[in-house]
Chains A and B, each alone.
Chain A
Amino acid sequence: MTPLRYVRAADKVDALARVSSGARCLGGGTNLVDLLRQNVEQASELVDISRLHGAIQERDDGGLFIDASVTNAALAAHPLVRRRYPVLARALLAGASAQIRNMATVGGNILQRTRCTYFYDVDGARCNKRQPGAGCDAREGFNRYHAILGASDQCVATHPSDMCVALAMLDAVVHLSGASGDRSVPLADFHVPPGATPQVETVLLPGELITGVELPPPTDAMVRSDYRKVRDRSSYAFALVSVAGGLALAEGRVREARIALGGVAAKPWRARRAEAALIGVAPQSDAFVAAIREELADARPLSGNGFKIGLVERTVVAVLTALAGARA
């Protein structure tokens, strides 16, 4: 780690001013401190926002506003999140460990970097994300954990967050502040596919700060929702694939379907094609299989991750089948 200055943000305005002048925003540090220590990233100043008051507020319409500095643990334990958006609580609890969830913030979770081992290997590997134009050693390397959807020749890394998969499913909106004012972006549009510029991971502009995340009023499929994560070991590991699903039925047919996938792309993957294919069908396994196959029609597996296609299919079917059988 190169020498740096540490400042605790006095308030949001102070944090914004410092980020605008080049400081890096420090939340729990669970990702950034590691990246700095590995020299994957460099910073001359850190502005710590983890002590700014982090609130979870209910809105008049029944939605929630979650400040960026709320910890993953606090969000997962919140009674309204557990009752109205169970998929989000379960996704948070699927991520990392209790120790890390006590530290990690919502804003930091959204902005965490890929766990591609070639991205981390500063001395030994080529990585277009770390050093644009250098090449990608993952594409022909050990790519068991890498993307099957939306990747490019330049980058096949995945986004590691569980929380973001649930947020994409829930139509969450990210609130941003910058020198030119405030704006908001749907979480599903916040992360961008790698294309020719894998170093650009989000629509966040230089000097901008995530201030919070807004959840819309819960729909029936948000309330009847769950998250399942498939890993190489049963806990404390990143996803091979994960599924956030929500289902609402009427008269024996699917009225509302929500599906997002993790571990398959550089962004949380909202499976809108599969969702559309499910509307009006009887909630049965063959319909679930047909729907997810539509979504995966464009999947492009690498040498080591072709298993993900079948794994996504089976996991989606398992999640939706359980939801269809769950009490309304």
Chain B
Amino acid sequence: MSIRVNDTEVPPPDDARVSLLDLLREHLHLTGTKKGCDQGACGACTVLLDGNRVLSCLTLAVQAEGREVRTIEGLAGANGELHVLQRAFVERDGLQCGYCTPGQICSAIAMAEELRRGDPSYVTPDIAAGPAAVTREEIRERMSGNLCRCGAHNGIVEAIELMLAETAA
């Protein structure tokens, strides 16, 4: 079974120990996805697996067989037009060094879908009812799995707010 990466079928690695992150970066040379801690503590390696955000460092590549992986390289349109959140990151200064950015963007795209579904978060006052409003507190909690050592979090939250406003309109 192959792995579908950004609409291209690729074979799984022969060695089961290869992480999805190393498959992307070292085997496929898709170096947009970043290796931060390699132990599930920073979120820099976040990719979308069948549309859900996961950590590629803790996923064995063989676990992605028969599934669809989307990375930062697979977000822009066919003509190179940036994804609405990529544009929002530029507009709202959602980065400084840029190392955490691909993970932040993949993570936030999936987060928007979780919000649309009405999934609660730890800070949602009424767990049964789900989030009533998308507050900054909600966004910060939902994005807490992506660390930014430059401290660009304010710009990141603003970029996400801009995306949510643009896609709701």
Contact = CB atoms under 8 A, between A and B. Distances in A.
A230 B38 CA distance: 26
Contact of A96 (B16, B127, B145): B145
B122 A102 contact: no
A21 interface: no
A37 interface: yes
A61 B77 CA distance: 51
B63 A29 contact: yes
Contacts of A98: 53, 107, 110-111, 114, 142, 145
Interface in A220-240: 229, 234-236
Interface string A1-39: 101111010000000000000000010111001100110
B40 A82 contact: no
Nearest to A6: B16
Contacts of B43: 97, 99
B144 interface: yes
Contacts of B127: 82, 86, 89-90, 93
B119 interface: yes
Interface string A89-109: 110011011111011000000
Chain A CB count within 10 A is highest, among B15, B53, B111, B147, for B53
A229 B65 CA distance: 36
A103 B59 contact: yes
B140 A235 contact: yes
Contacts of A90: 122, 127
A46 B16 contact: yes
A76 interface: yes
Nearest to A45: B16
B31 interface: no
A275 interface: no
Contact of B17 (A1, A50, A73): A1
B54 A50 contact: no
A126 B111 CA distance: 41
B140 to A, nearest CB: 7
B128 interface: yes
A83 B128 CA distance: 5
Contacts, number: 100
B117 interface: yes
B60 A6 contact: yes
B59 A29 contact: yes
B91 interface: no
B39 interface: yes
Contact of A37 (B39, B53, B65, B114): B39
Chain A CB count within 10 A is highest, among B43, B107, B120, for B120
B105 interface: no
Nearest to A48: B63
A77 interface: yes
A33 B22 CA distance: 14
B58 interface: yes
Contacts of B159: none
A236 B145 contact: yes
A3 B17 CA distance: 7
B55 interface: yes
Contacts of A50: 63
A33 B49 CA distance: 17
Contact of B121 (A46, A86, A93, A229): A93
Interface string B94-124: 0000000000000100110010010111101
13 contacts: A1-B17, A6-B60, A33-B59, A34-B58, A73-B52, A73-B119, A77-B117, A89-B120, A93-B121, A96-B145, A97-B146, A100-B55, A236-B145
Interface of B: 15-17, 19, 38-40, 43, 46, 49, 52-55, 58-60, 62-63, 65, 107, 110-111, 114, 117, 119-122, 124, 127-128, 130, 140-142, 144-147
Given A6-B16, A102-B52, 14 more contacts: A33-B59, A34-B58, A37-B39, A46-B60, A77-B119, A89-B120, A94-B122, A97-B144, A98-B53, A98-B110, A98-B114, A99-B54, A99-B55, A236-B147
